[in-house]
Structure 1
Amino acid sequence: MRSEPAPETRRRAYRRGLGAETLAVAWLCLKGYRILGRRFRAGAGEIDIIARKGDVVAFVEVKARRDADEALAAIDARTRRRIAAAGRVWLARHPRYAAFTLRYDVILVAGHGLRRLVPRHMISAFLDGE
């Protein structure tokens, strides 16, 4: 049986995640993206960031871990399916973007201190339904 983490541990992880998302938003803006939404929830899925650049809408998952490999490993098949499902709901609610190129990106925020300041943006990290 899995035990639940202590409330303080959960709060720390939540704050770290919010900080990583804020850093990812700033990174995307510096790269010329316009943020269309943050923390979009639909059913069992959530999209951390929805961003647009030109005719591309990117559904972005942000993961913060000690190292990039650990962060990438945290995005398993179940997570990808949930993000893709939430992306379809978002698109149904925003049909004006139906003709845009849709992408599923990942931003990895690894390390601590100043090392966290350079996120790794993986463009088209996975496909819908993958």
Structure 2
Amino acid sequence: MKRQQAEQAGRRAEDAAADYLQQQGWEVLARRRRTPVGEIDLVVRRPGLVAFVEVKWRRAAAQLADAIDERRLSRVAAAAEAVAHDYVQQGDNLTVDVLLLAPDAEPRHIRNAWQP
């Protein structure tokens, strides 16, 4: 039961993240993109830039500091590399971003969070 609840909370967070990013001028290209090496929560675009976004939701804003780690970011980066050809056009830059969400807290968009 806990797994199902976590899955539902994750989906709601991804929906909220997509809405937030669209309000910030991003176009959502894909949600929950599965690859052989992992899943990308959101793929979004602005002119000249494609971002592969890891979404993290916590019940309290104080918990967000520990929501993402290097191992998780490296998996998202590997997944992004596996499917970048589907989204990145000539001249585009790409980034691996993180969007942190918690109730009663402003979304925190960390751009270019992965830099190997």
Does TM, normalized by the shorter one, top 0.5? Answer: yes
Q: Which amino acid aligns with 1:122?
A: I
User: Deviations for 1:24-82, whole angstroms, at most 9, x for unmatched residues?
Assistant: 00000001101111101111311100000110100100001123453342322221111
Identity, % of aligned positions: 38
Find the counterpart in structure 1 of residue 68 from structure 2.
Answer: 75
Under a length normalisation based on structure 1, what TM-score does the superposition of the two structures give?
A: 0.80
Point out where structure 1 has 5 or more consecutive residues left out of the alignment. 1-7
Q: Distance in 1 between matches of 2:49 and 2:3?
A: 34
- Residue 105 and residue 14 in structure 1: after superposition, are their counterparts in 2 closer, same or farther (change >3 A)? same
Instruction: Give the Å deviation of 1:97.
Output: 2.1
- Partners of 1:24 and 1:124 lie apart in 2 by 16
RMSD: 1.7
* Equivalent residue number for residue 124 of structure 1: 112
Structure 1 runs, 4 residues or longer, greater than 6 Å off: none
Q: Distance in 1 between matches of 2:65 and 2:43?
A: 19
1:49 alignment partner, SS class: strand
Q: Assess if the C-alpha contact under 8 Å between 2:13 and 2:56 holds in 1.
A: yes
Stretches of structure 2 lacking an aligned partner (at least 5 in a row) = none
Residue 108 (str. 1) matches residue 100 (str. 2): yes
Counterpart code for 2:29 = L
TM-score, normalized by length of structure 2? 0.89
User: Which residue of 1 is the match for residue 30 of structure 2?
Assistant: 37
Larger radius of gyration: 1
* Contact 1:63 1:72 (C-alpha < 8 Å) held by counterparts: no
Aligned length: 116
